[in-house]
Amino acid sequence: MRTQVGIIGAGPSGLLLARLLHLQGIESIIVERQSKAHVLGRIRAGVLETGTVELLREAQVAHRMDRDGLIHDGFNLAFDGRRQRIDMAHRTGGKHVMIYGQTKVTEDLVEAHLGAGGQIFYDAPAVGVEEYSTDRPRLIFDKNGRHQEIVCDFVAGCDGYHGVARQSVPGNQITLFEKIYPFGWLGILSDVPPVQDELIYANHERGFALCSMRSPTRSRYYIQCDLEDRVEKWSDDAFWDELRRRLPADVAEQVTTGPRLEMSIAPLRSFVAEPMRFGRLFLAGDAAHIVPPTGAKGLNLAASDIYYLSRALIAFYKEKRVDLLDRYSAAALRRVWKAIRFSWWFTGLMHKYDDDPISHRLQVAELGYIAGSAAAQTAMAENYVGLPYEDFT
């Protein structure tokens, strides 16, 4: 098989890249390890930055998002029995975020890409990328028990943290930075109305909690849990009880409970691989970096990588330019590191790390400072809505 851009992974980054390239007449083939039903069944992120929303509009997959997505101008910090609203719109000159689940983003992208004749091989794990230092890299994958090969101009590794693209590069050519946090998030999805119409991030002596949502009738809640915790140990009632304990009393009494649609545990990690380009192999999204979910940045970073990578590939095919391909890794990484820093800082501010009482007092002092400082609220708001993409023309 032969294509222009071989893409590993049909998550948001691979699909968005395929879609943006297709709209410019550039062909691609996506190979995806999992089945279509598996990929479309995953519950993940829920908050889209302005830049992500604009990119989805550019990809012409925004119809349902613009109809059903919820625009949020603010979010709330709960601590020490009180609440502080961070007014994102006021602090950033009118910017906001869109609440629209990653599951739906993925559905919209798949539907548009397949509808336009795009090629996705499901149940087709890539096993390696070869000859990426030449101008004919080869993507090797398995389908129906057989090794197959796609000869490409470029390969995009959009295959997540456990993918093979990054692992195809010898260890001495890549630098990895990693931090594992000593806790995870236990999440529930339930068809109950959200407790409030905006998100609440709660710092509590028992641990962090988050009130989020997918729609006016579907809620997503999280509580900090131990790394050794298992979903099987948590009944729905135990989850709701623990959530309510960690929220301010007036919020806790408003929580509507219901049976789970899904419950899962996610470990928290910060991870960056440098560089993000190896000859004609490019890494994007979770394949190159992971953030703890506290800042809601994972999916948004995948989108900003694709913003840079799609422009670089389009400039190559349309204008025979290689300068943007050369600049891709550094430009993407500058934005990645800022989001890594924000997510690490916000995680540190909100979670219980140990039983030392000074730790909690210091967090409450910092949250109190934020509550009283326009400068601190502006810093939080501009990071949360998403830092601007740099000029890449």
Which sequence positions are flagged as catalytic?
72, 201, 293, 297, 384
Nearer to ligand PHB, 28 or 212 (CB): 212
Amino acid at 74: G
Q: Which stretch binds ligand PHB (CB under 6 A): 115-123, 157-165, 274-282, 288-296?
A: 288-296
Nearer to ligand RFL, 13 or 363 (CB): 13
DSSP string over 26-41:
--EEEE-SS-HHHHHH
Question: Scanning residues 188 to 217, which ones bind ligand PHB (CB under 6 A)?
Answer: 199, 212
CA 137, 138, 140 angle in degrees (round to 5)? 155
Which residue of 20, 31, 273, 296 would you call a contact of ligand PHB, by CB under 6 A? 296
- Partner touching 194 among ligand PHB, ligand RFL, none, CB below 5 to 8 Å by kind: none
Nearer to ligand PHB, 157 or 293 (CB): 293
Count of positions (residues) in the chain: 393
Which residue of 3, 52, 294, 383 would you call a contact of ligand PHB, by CB under 6 A? 294
Q: Which residues of 160-177 are buried (b: 16+ CB within 10 A; e: fewer)?
A: beebbbbebbeeeebeee
Q: Rule CB under 6 A: is residue 47 a binding residue for ligand PHB?
A: yes
- Residue 197 beta carbon to ligand PHB: minimum distance, rounded to whole angstroms: 14
- Residue 119 beta carbon to ligand PHB: minimum distance, rounded to whole angstroms: 30
Nearest alpha carbon to residue 315 among 300, 331, 302, 327: 327
Question: What CA–CA distance (Å, rounded) separates 352 from 241?
Answer: 18
- Residue 47 beta carbon to ligand PHB: minimum distance, rounded to whole angstroms: 5
The residues that touch ligand RFL, with contacts defined as CB under 6 A, are: 8-14, 31-34, 39, 44-45, 102, 125-126, 158-160, 162-164, 266, 285-286, 293, 296-299, 302
CA 191, 122, 261 angle in degrees (round to 5)? 10
- Residue 113 beta carbon to ligand PHB: minimum distance, rounded to whole angstroms: 24
Residue with tokens 């990119």: 55
Q: Rule CB under 6 A: is residue 186 a binding residue for ligand PHB?
A: no
- 163 to 34, 157, 340: CA distances (angstroms): 12, 8, 20
Question: What CA–CA distance (Å, rounded) separates 131 from 137?
Answer: 5
Q: Are 48 and 98 in contact (CB under 8 A)?
A: yes
Q: Per the structure block, which two tokens stand in for 28?
A: 């691609």
Nearer to ligand RFL, 158 or 360 (CB): 158
CA atoms within 13 A on the CB side of 383: 21
Which residue of 19, 22, 95, 220 would you call a contact of ligand PHB, by CB under 6 A? 220
Nearest alpha carbon to residue 155 among 15, 333, 277: 277
- Residue 230 beta carbon to ligand RFL: minimum distance, rounded to whole angstroms: 15
Measured from each CB, the residue nearest to ligand PHB is 46
Strand order in the sheet with 138-143: 126-130, 138-143, 146-151
Nearest alpha carbon to residue 246 among 281, 210, 187, 204: 204
- Residue 327 beta carbon to ligand RFL: minimum distance, rounded to whole angstroms: 20
Nearer to ligand PHB, 199 or 223 (CB): 199
Q: Which stretch binds ligand PHB (CB under 6 A): 44-52, 245-253, 275-283, 314-322?
A: 44-52
Nearer to ligand RFL, 276 or 381 (CB): 276
- Partner touching 12 among ligand PHB, ligand RFL, none, CB below 5 to 8 Å by kind: ligand RFL
Site for ligand PHB, rule CB under 6 A: 45-47, 199, 212, 220, 293-294, 296
